[in-house]
Amino acid sequence: MPELLATSLPEYIAAGLKEVAQEQRFTEGLYRLESESGSNMGDGFVGQLLKVFIREADRELVVLCKLLPESEMRKQQGISLFDRETEAYMQILPLLTKFQDEKALAKHLPRFDNVPRCYYAKTTLDKMESVIIMEDLRLQAYRMWDKANPVDFEHARLLMVTLGRLHALSFAMKDQQPEEFAKCRAFEDPMGKMLELDPTKGFEVMMAGMCRRAIETLDQHDNFRREKLKQIQDRCVQEIVACTDGKAAEPYAIVGHGDCWSNNMMFQYAEDNKTPSNIKLIDWQLSRYGSPVLDLVYFIFNCTDEEMRSHSYQRLLSIYYHSLSEHLHNLGGDVERQYPRIAFREQLKKFGRYGLVMSMMVLPIICTPNDELPDTDTAMEGFMNDMTNGNTNAELAYGTTEKAAIRYRKRMSGCIRDTIRYGYI
């Protein structure tokens, strides 16, 4: 094995890096590995990143190793998500992009290529080991949007275009190569599996608490909206499970990203350094076979604000649908036959509430500035201890500082008002 500098890596990580080095034609015995931390505070909530330099003479390859958290409790919570991301990078995304490549699209036509290069991914459930080795997009000047701020229209537009192309791959392949597409149909929601393995019903209790907190962002006299939310307060988990059921979305279910919020995408910019020119979708840990609208409402309700939705909500949906239609046509499909507008509208009515229910969980994190984020291990362990001891008022310590609470109140109340205005609950 080459010498490991800066840190001693566990065997399963070293084995993955060795495979990458060999594939990239580094010389056995001559290259060396050096590493440093690969993430900033607030970048990731389910894992840690290690930046590794593979070096030989004047050659260098920089990769990011995505690893499980060190905390045993969080490792157990996260291993199934790492298993999902491994499957996404090694099987499902290559299957869809291979289908696209076989179409030999003309050079001027757009294609879905908005995923970082994954060199290696392996998860061993019984050993509780996982490593995902990817390119470091920051070397190509990709960067994240500051999650604490609602995204602007241009960033939202670019994502809608990208999701349209991603979803078009499923629609086209499902229609033209149904047997090969069978693997995608089996790509069930990983969150549902986690909820089944939650004997304490801790997540249900947490979501009920999150819903109560969301209700309190409304005006005290807003009885109509308060009552609407109280109806789902104790069934938030059932709502999530119902919305993410792929069978309930047929015949329109597709492979979606599943966790479309601003921390899970990186942008490249035009010369003005403000206008996004390209996007990569990262963190495929919640990717699943389900309704196309889940990605849309998850992003729009968590990452835009009430003001932008007031003038751009329908416009963003139209941009998505046009992109889906165009790419599906280029792949040999027909949107009017495979996902007519009326079906799109019906799916929004049927699954649109998913954006609101997920925002109860995600907005407190989004509204907390990175320098005020609690330590994730401490926050999760404190919460789980509260759960185990039967504290039904247990809450995750996000969105509770003064600055975060003001942001949260504004964003969450707007989210509730819009969900009701669109007729989703």
**What Cα–Cα distance (Å) separates residue 100 from each residue in 163, 176, 177?**
15, 12, 12
Does position 153 have pLDDT exceeding 60, yes or no? Answer: yes
241-253 pLDDT tens trace: 999 999 999 999 9
57-112 pLDDT tens trace: 999 999 999 999 888 888 887 898 999 999 999 999 999 999 999 999 999 999 99
5-23 pLDDT tens trace: 445 789 999 999 999 999 9
Q: What is the mean pLDDT of the chain?
A: 90
**What Cα–Cα distance (Å) separates residue 46 from each residue in 93, 192, 348?**
21, 17, 29
Q: pTM value?
A: 0.92
Domain-wise residue ranges, the chain? 11-67, 142-422
**Mean of pLDDT values over 255-263:** 96
Strands 48-56 and 59-67: antiparallel
Q: Which amino acid is at 280?
A: K
Does position 200 have pLDDT exceeding 90, yes or no? Answer: no
Q: E strand or H helix at 33, and its extent? A: strand 32-37
Structure tokens at 147: 């999650």
Q: With contact defined as beta carbons under 8 Å apart, do 218 and 320 qualify?
A: no
**What Cα–Cα distance (Å) separates residue 320 from each residue in 165, 248, 300, 324, 406?**
9, 22, 12, 6, 31
Does position 45 have pLDDT exceeding 60, yes or no? Answer: no
Q: How confident is the model at residue 375, as a pLDDT?
A: 63
- pLDDT confidence of 41, banded at 50, 70, 90? very low
Of the ranges 194-198, 325-329, 338-342, 385-389, which one carries the lowest mean pLDDT score?
Answer: 385-389
Q: How confident is the model at residue 2, as a pLDDT?
A: 44
Distance CA 361, CA 275 (A): 29
Q: Which amino acid is at 14?
A: A
> Which ranges in 198-269 belong to alpha helices (H)?
202-215, 223-230, 236-243, 246-249
392-406 pLDDT tens trace: 555 566 666 788 899
Determine what percent of the chain is predicted with pLDDT higher than 70: 88
Q: What architecture does CATH give domain 142-422?
A: Alpha-Beta Complex (3.90)
Q: Is the peptide bond before 251 cis (omega within 30 degrees of 0)?
A: yes
